[in-house]
Amino acid sequence: MSAPSSAANPTHDATPFADGSGPEWIITDGLTGYEEALAFMEARVEAIARGEAREAIWLLEHPPLYTAGTSAKVQDLVDPDRFPVFDARRGGQYTYHGPGQRVAYVMLDLTRRGRDVRAFVLALENWVIATLAEFSITGEIREGRVGVWVPRPDKAPLPDGTPREDKIAAIGIRLRKWVSFHGISINVEPDLEHFSGIVPCGITGHGVTSLVDLGLPVGMDDLDVALMATFAKAFPEPAAEA
């Protein structure tokens, strides 16, 4: 099964493992519609659960849109008419997706990898942190705040004296038959003003940043290489059954 593609949106397998082990890596150029992506994920997840398809990591970009997770609050959609809004049916609250943001949809079989949702989310966080470290960025996680954050000592603290931190990556997952879908998004060079139409992940006070906003001349291809290089450490292949 291959991801949706068109002449303007070619798709290619970028599997980094010479022996074909691990998940299939799919990279789709251009912008992929959200409903198209959701339909592909749901079909692929069902196929993985039936043992008819490999696990997959799908790297893509969306046109500007907002998605609502299962915990989304109506008041956090500040500008409901700005971009299309989709019910993502994943965990979390409101999230923005758009050009310049790398979305990684993670379709892994947790029956093979241990049915531990908390450990799976931690592995996603560690994968993002390790990827950012490839660019000498220190990503951190915070209790009660979903996603990966970057300290900003260069910015004025909040009114209560709390040091400023900006979000650089979001995480939201869903499981079906113990196969994951949805996943992570990392800001490479999106229009950060587009985040103002929502309260990102329901968190006020802190801001949003990107690799380019932090002064790094990083492109999407650079990030993809880093994601592939760090994946196996966060998600080692399960030992083969005897």
| Per-residue pLDDT at 201 exceeds 90 | no
The 10s digit of each residue's pLDDT in 72-117 is 788 889 888 899 998 887 877 888 999 999 999 999 999 999 999 9
Q: Extract the annotated binding site.
A: 90-97, 170-172, 183-185
Summarised one tens digit per residue, pLDDT across range 154-167 is 888 888 888 889 99
The least confident of 133-137, 151-155, 200-204, 217-221 is 200-204
Average pLDDT over residues 182-209: 86
Looking at residue 156, its pLDDT comes to 86
Binding-site members for substrate are 90-97, 170-172, 183-185
Would you state the structure tokens that stand for residue 108, as one six-digit string? 């892994």
Query: What pLDDT does 18 receive?
Result: 47
Beta strands 165-176 and 207-208 are: parallel
Q: Report the pLDDT value the prediction gives residue 2, as an integer from 0 to 100.
A: 52
pLDDT in tens, 48-64: 999 999 999 999 999 99
Please give the pLDDT value at position 147.
87
Q: Please tell me the distance from the alpha carbon of residue 237 to that of residue 231, in angstroms, as a whole number.
A: 10
Domains (range + CATH), the chain: 21-234 (3.30.930.10)
Cβ(165)–Cβ(152) under 8 Å?
yes
Per-range mean pLDDT, top range of 21-25, 81-85, 127-131, 197-201 = 127-131
Q: Are the CB atoms for 55 and 108 separated by under 8 Å?
A: yes
Average pLDDT of the residues in 192-213: 83
Which sequence positions are flagged as catalytic?
A: 201
